[in-house]
Structure 1
Amino acid sequence: MSRPTMTGAASQGTTLRRRPGPPRTPVPDRRASSREASPRQRSRLAAQPLSTRLFGYALIAPIVVIMGLVIVYPLINAVVTSFQDQRVIGSSSDFVGFATYAKIIGDPEFWAALGRSTFWLFANMIVQTVFGFMTALLLQRSGRWSRTARTWIVLPWVIPTVAVAVIWQWMLNSNYGVIYKAFDSIGIDIGSPFGDSAIALVAIVLINSWHWFPLSAVIIYGALSTVPHEVIEAARMDGANAWRLFWAVTYPLLQPVLFSIALVGSLWSFNILDSIYLITEGGPAGSTTTVPVYIYDTAFSAFRSSQAAAASVLTVIVLGVAALLFVRFGRPKED
């Protein structure tokens, strides 16, 4: 049996030529373009006329001036005051160096307040994140109640702090409080939460979390809306249950959002003064005296403004170090 021979144009000695197509466009190297972007932008900025650059500087000048007056000047003033022996704010004082800082560092009440602030920070962060996550997951459900809840869920957030303090003092009052009467009707005596040094700080943590958790809920709900449905459906087809779906798919995609909430929310919660001072003024027996309350009492009750300024500067340093460590070790890893 003979071997098969080529047929068609190839058997006649002709060669097949590919029809010429459109010229290919070379694909740019993204890494090279990213490396060249910064020098190119600098050269483009330098090529702009002076009037254009001055106009841009003029547009951002107001916000820079406002930030300088609101943030930079008070911070510098606090540092300068902390090196003096000033008592009443605005009175004459002398330079004493680090003696004021030595008094604050040697004050056991400052360290006790710092410990309460640490508990306050972590408790608020955990409770608000859990409540916010649960609420966001419920808001994702389809139905009339979910659609209605998306509107009124922000109601606690928009209530002024003064009103929140008064409302909860009324509801937990041991004489006529609605919550106290409800527990008393089923045989549970909750006593006076704000008058018990063992649970006063926990009670204020729950009130503050009730006030601010809608912010976390709205942010997490928006982040959940960006999770691709194709990824969730693919995980369900692979047999993943609800718990596995959350930890393997939803949670990794929400890590950047949760990281931002934890960082900004913790710094925000640490510096809260109004909720605590309006409800207990730091009592009973100093059980709710956090660092902001300690600084306020030192400045306006004990009339030691220099020591209050030194405590403020130390607090800024502690928060700065804590934020850097959190960013260093808690930042989501990029794939």
Structure 2
Amino acid sequence: MNSITAAEVAGAAAPATTAGVPPPRRRMSSTRWAALAFLAPLAAYLAIFYAYPLYRNVELSLHDYTPRAFVQGNAEFLGLDNYADVVSSSMFGLALRNTALFVLISIVAQYAVGLALAVFFHRRFRLSAVLRAMFLVPWLLPLIVSASTWSWMLNSENGIVNSVLGAFGIGQINWLTSPDWALWSVIIANIWLGIPFNLVILYAGLQNISGDLYEAAALDGANAWQRFWRVTFPLLRPVSAITLLLGLIYTLKVVDVIWIMTTGGPGNASLTLAVWSYREAFGTGQPDFSPAAAVGNMLIVIALAAGFVYLYLQRRQERT
């Protein structure tokens, strides 16, 4: 029997190593560099298309930028004076009120109708896919086409809406030229445009709810309304929250629909903060970029506040 030396015993006890495998520290370093390489394009995109424009918008709002100042590069620093001028303006209260009405009514109506349609199409009947695709048409059309179509439909003289109302004995309504109806006109058009988005997101959320829950509720004697209120609505709450948040952010910045239909008028009857910002910058022929940037930054703050509220509610729900 051959004798085993101490060196052979030590070699047998040592862990086997694979040839060509780098040390753990070098492997961690290469993994980190690979992660940074994948992250770099996204970071560059965010810096170029988000961080820099936001910085420029803040800079615009803190200086007195006119077309001449843009050319000469000598805009006077005003600090928060532009924000003070915007808040003290006679149009600020009206624009804030119109924005609140426009946003709240739009997102509530879009969500309610979108949820009703999602539940309706969730039943999977014949032609369900065809009808669901038809409801997506408003979402696919360019906004300028949709807004122009609604302007024609709501025309006081020969619009199809007044023609239909006239058939039921209802007199002519000046949808786009009356201060009492202009804001409602753009709200109706915006609701129509936003329903498909809510339908798609909420319908996708319904697909993740197990059918066994509905069967168990039906065995317990729950009717259709109770199954919706006790099963569908609670389980759809996370999807509903993100749908409402995205709807809020989108509706806050709506300009094209209102501008094409009423340009914020008549007078300022349908003026919102977003339209006010656009009008100050591009709509008067005498650009005033700094107040426009100040109003735009206010909208950004409102959207950020809504995002933080959403995150707070999500974390609170996760803890409970």
Q: TM-score range by the shorter chain?
A: 0.7 to 0.9
State the match for 2:205 in structure 1: 223
State the match for 1:73 in structure 2: 52
1:127 aligns with 2:109: yes
Q: Is the 8 A contact 1:259 1:332 kept in 2?
A: no
Pairwise CA distance, 1:330: 7.5
State the match for 1:273 in structure 2: 255
**Which protein shows a greater Rg?**
1
Greater CA drift, 214-223 or 295-304: 295-304
State the match for 1:309 in structure 2: 293
Pairwise CA distance, 1:252: 0.7
Q: Is the 8 A contact 2:155 2:176 kept in 1?
A: no
CA distance in 2, matches of 1:154, 1:138: 15
CA distance in 2, matches of 1:326, 1:138: 28
Q: Is the 8 A contact 1:256 1:332 kept in 2?
A: no
**Cα 1:52–1:290 shift into 2, 3 Å:** same
Q: RMSD in angstroms over aligned alpha carbons?
A: 2.2
Q: How do 1:23-172 and structure 2 match up within 5 A?
A: 48=27, 50-88=29-67, 90-91=70-71, 92-172=74-154
Structure 1's unaligned 5+ residue stretches are: 1-43
| Identity of matched residues, % | 29
State the match for 1:24 in structure 2: none
Greater CA drift, 233-242 or 110-119: 110-119
State the match for 1:8 in structure 2: none
CA distance in 2, matches of 1:311, 1:46: 51
Q: Is the 8 A contact 2:278 2:292 kept in 1?
A: yes
Higher helix share: 2
Q: Is the 8 A contact 2:154 2:175 kept in 1?
A: yes
Aligned residues: 292
Q: Is the 8 A contact 2:156 2:175 kept in 1?
A: no
**Equivalent residue letter for 1:169:** S
CA distance in 2, matches of 1:320, 1:108: 26
Pairwise CA distance, 1:52: 4.4
State the match for 1:247 in structure 2: 229
State the match for 2:14 in structure 1: none
**Equivalent residue letter for 1:306:** S
TM-score normalised to the size of structure 2?
A: 0.84
CA distance in 2, matches of 1:328, 1:62: 30
CA distance in 2, matches of 1:104, 1:298: 11
Structure 2's unaligned 5+ residue stretches are: 1-22
Q: Is the 8 A contact 1:183 1:189 kept in 2?
A: yes
Secondary structure in 1 matching 2:263: coil
